[in-house]
Amino acid sequence: MIQCYSIDALSASGDKAWRLQLDDSWRVAVYGEALQENDARITDNGKAEFWVGRRLKKDNKLGLTPQKKAGKFDFFMRGVFSHIVIHHLQQVSLPERTQMEACIASLVPGSPWLLYLDTAAHFQAVDSATTAIIGNLEIAVRGEIASSPDYVGITAVENQARMEVTYRQFLAGWLEHLNTSKMNLFIPDVEKLKEEVEYIEAIGSWRPETM
């Protein structure tokens, strides 16, 4: 899949946004908007991770300059922070239920597993005790952390009613990811779900950005 990241900065109130340019300057933008010609495009996750949750200082001459990464409580303070925005530049895949079930069945109960969709619409899982979740650029859509055999392992997959709901939750999350370009999105509550066919049709109708 062809994709890249842009770097958007957002004010504390969320009413102002800027986007990093190829020459390291910043232009006024609408948060999460489509790419424009001179926007910086990052394809390396390591380089993109530099900007995840980074505090930015406003300077009359230099514009926005990067400072330290956000601390645990920084998002409760006033300030400008940088955010990663993903841009899919070719048609995306539909997440597959069979692949989701295979992933869940492969997990051993007892560890705090996080089931998620990566940016290629593939189901993956990580042990949240040993792998960072916040700011992880592999995670497009994430579920709840679970360790019980009711939710992970072969027994969990035998509950087809639960698998049906879980799949719809991830379809809804994937559609939101495509429409908003946001990363690390939570799946929605069950009460907010639509029918599976509605998500499948909407994902099929979605079109990527043009370069």
Instruction: Check pLDDT > 90 for residue 61.
Output: no
With cut-offs at 50, 70 and 90, classify the pLDDT of residue 201: very high
Place of tokens 């679970």: 146
Instruction: Check pLDDT > 90 for residue 85.
Output: yes
Long-range contacts at 148-157 (CB < 8 A, ≥ 24 apart): 148/109, 149/109, 151/104, 152/104, 152/107, 152/108, 152/109, 152/113, 152/115, 152/125, 153/104, 153/105, 153/107, 153/108, 153/109, 154/105, 155/109, 156/104, 156/105, 157/101, 157/104, 157/105
Instruction: Check pLDDT > 90 for residue 70.
Output: no
Give dist(CA 50, CA 135) in Å, integer. 10
- pTM for the complete prediction? 0.91
With cut-offs at 50, 70 and 90, classify the pLDDT of residue 62: low
The per-residue pLDDT for range 97-139, each reduced to its tens digit, is 999 999 999 999 999 999 999 999 999 999 999 999 988 999 9
Instruction: Check pLDDT > 80 for residue 60.
Output: no
Place of tokens 């392992």: 153
